[in-house]
A and B are shown apart, each in its own frame.
Chain A
Amino acid sequence: MKKIVVGMGTCGLSAGALPVYEKLKALAEANPEACEIDITGCIGMCFREPLVEISDEHGRTIYGDVSEESAVEIFTRHVLNSQSIDDDKLIYGITPEGATFGSEAAFLDLQERIVLRNCGLINPESIDDYEKIGGYQGLKKALTAMSSQEIIQTMKDSGLRGRGGAGFPTGLKWSFAAANAGAKKYVVCNADEGDPGAFMDRSVLEGDPHAVLEGMIICGKAIGAGFGYIYCRAEYPLAIQRLEKAIADSREKGYLGRDILGSGFDFDLKIKQGAGAFVCGEETALFASIEGERGMPRIRPPFPAEKGLWQKPTNNNNVETFANVPWIISNGAAAYRSTGTEKSPGTKVFALAGKVAKGGLAEVPMGTTIEQLVFNIGGGIKKGRQFKAVQMGGPSGGCIPSHLKNTPVDFESIPATGAIMGSGGMVVMDEGTCMVEIARFFLNFTQSESCGKCTFCRIGTLRMLEILQRITRGEGVSEDIQKLEKLSVQIKDASLCGLGQTAPNPVQTTIRYYLDEYMEHIDHKKCPAGECEALVDFIIIPEKCVGCTLCARNCPVKAITGKVKAVHEIDQQKCVKCGKCITSCNFGAVVKQ
């Protein structure tokens, strides 16, 4: 009996997994004796979606870039006739003995999966699947064989550090909330994955929602809380849907509710949908949002462990942190410590995106270098271009230049470069990315997401943004760099929450590593990367132009000339650099240079 599994995370679905699934489902239903079909969450190889996996006595085989037509071929050849299709589409396979093969085997071979242990293996909508693979065993152990103190001690021993970005030791955080007496306490799961460029939490919630619930219930037992909230972004509808199903199922099975597993411990939880505010990823702002107010940060102390949600002791952790918990409880602290580095044990999930050849999710032991992530797992840069930098930590993080590619990823080494670990977004940039423009992009983001409470964050970031806009327009002056540096320090010192304290990071790191690029914009009015529109020329590549006249018709200033079926040309004197020609060209013949 063969089993067909289709990857149906958001990335799979947007690449067209649904018609593939429906096609295969119809075929499977017509041949019920040959196979069964199921769905799964994100396998991690987003760059080859949609993915279809077939498992049988010879192991597992994953096909990538599956279309409706190739699905039929895979079905007839592999499922019905047991012949694997040995071409580029066969991206990964593993035999029962553990040997791997396939064109993208390196992507998974170099990973070590703890958080993503079930993603891509189980049907996220089936609690039975989760139980079969060892789910809720950690909870059973925690509720029946361990005291609260023992759970916290195990977490401390494991050395797990908060995966939301700050890296605060989880066991220690739990002990603070546990130490505060009170009849009512809360567990909060921060699933407001706001960093643009990060999608680990989405994949975990979509691929293995029960692991997060299990982690939260264990935390509830450890700190003595009876209720939890998952604060999830409204932009993740599929994650919310799967969480809702998971909560209903686990309630039915008695993992949530009164007297869980006969232990006398009561715990229940609720999903709160975010409403689109980046600052709500900050814990005190998140609490304000759950309470139904504008999501503005509050002054600490009192810390959440003392007075958090509804002024009650609260423990707040990130999705990935909670997903680690059941594994640690089941396998013990020592097993967790066996991966990663001394001060940052365990693994970290990274979302590889941007100009990297193979974008997707990669879980690696802490201490893996950036080079290994980008080149060995991510397959280097798209189109064979030059690696320029990685941006880590989103708008709060910084750019790490290519000459520091040997930096290991852990909570000590990354901050030393000026960037932050952040939640794990890793956006790769090539020589076509302008660092001044990237700094402007992030500042624009933080500026519009600033809640406005602290003056320096509200107005300071706007002043910085104005300076950066000036520079990218070719109107920068030499004092601008000093002004940016001064404002950065002031904003960091005078802001209440993480948003303001980290907002200048992208500017500071780009000035630190790419000062010459800034100076090129300011002194010579040139953008070396060719991205800042005011500083580049738009040209038509003669080989690609078919002479369709579309660009000429769209040009608002009639700067483009050329006859039908003849190569067109742009008059640089007339061009106002609006970009209409680029967006109208169906052949990618217009480029910036």
Chain B
Amino acid sequence: MLVQIPKGVMKTAAKKESFNYRLWRYNGAPGELIPLLQSAQEHFGYIPRRAITYISGVTGIPESDIYGVITFYSQFRLQPMGKFVVRACAGTACHVSGAKSIIDTIEDELGVEVGDTTEDGLFTLLTVACIGCCSLAPVVMVNSETHGRLTPASLRKILKEYRRKGADGVNTAAGAS
């Protein structure tokens, strides 16, 4: 059924497309699986089992195929992520500028290994191939904030600042991307 939406309204509606709205709007157009998964991850912070079931039910794509797509792309997570997602850049420029000691420092400061989340649910540590801030190497991205020209000492300071923010309950867009 076609519903006429006035032009101005359409725009705001398109901006606030929630996971539910996207599922409801799905009209069988091909190529929608990855955007659906991205919006599920934006909504839940990760892709829970039940989201896979929903998507499969609506699109008719077998759950196993959806699982295959999820595991292929490094963006998708099947486990909940911490409030702060720390993405340490492991690109070439960062690598030659000492990314290893940066990653070691984060592992040491947070007490987790790459891919894991801290017990208090505050931090998830991931590596990323390149953030594209190569001239500021080594670089770490925390949620959507980028920190460059890091040394182990300045990094510890930054992480402590986030830990303090997390303890204060400052709201952030965790796991939004």
Contacts and interface: CB of A to CB of B under 8 A. Distances in A.
Contact of A292 (B30, B94, B131, B133): B30
Given A580-B104, A583-B105, A199 B72 contact: no
Given A199-B133, A277-B72, A294-B68, A289 B34 contact: yes
Given A197-B93, A427-B93, A580-B104, A353 B134 contact: yes
A108 interface: no
B132 A236 contact: yes
Contacts of B101: 579, 582-583
B108 A291 contact: no
Contacts of A202: 132
Interface string A267-298: 00000111111100000000001111111000
B151 interface: yes
B135 interface: yes
Interface in A182-197: 193-197
B136 A293 contact: no
A425 B145 CA distance: 23
Contacts of B132: 10, 193, 198-199, 202, 235-236
Contact of A273 (B38, B72, B147): B38
A47 B135 contact: yes
A90 interface: no
Chain B interface size, under 10 / 10 to 19 / 20 to 34 / 35 or more? 35 or more
B150 to A, nearest CB: 10
A234 B38 CA distance: 10
A433 B130 CA distance: 19
A235 B131 contact: yes
A282 to B, nearest CB: 14
A195 B177 CA distance: 20
Interface residues of A, number: 65
A429 B96 CA distance: 7
Contacts of B153: 585-587
Interface of B: 11, 30-35, 37-38, 68-69, 72-76, 90-97, 100-101, 104-105, 108, 128-137, 139, 144-149, 151-153, 177
Interface of A: 10-11, 13-15, 46-47, 49, 193-199, 202, 234-237, 248, 272-278, 289-295, 310, 351-355, 359-360, 391, 394, 425, 427, 429, 433, 438, 441-442, 445, 449, 451, 554, 579-580, 582-588
Given A275-B75, A292-B33, 18 more contacts: A11-B135, A14-B136, A194-B129, A196-B130, A235-B131, A235-B132, A276-B74, A291-B30, A291-B31, A353-B92, A354-B92, A359-B134, A427-B93, A427-B96, A427-B134, A441-B92, A445-B129, A449-B129
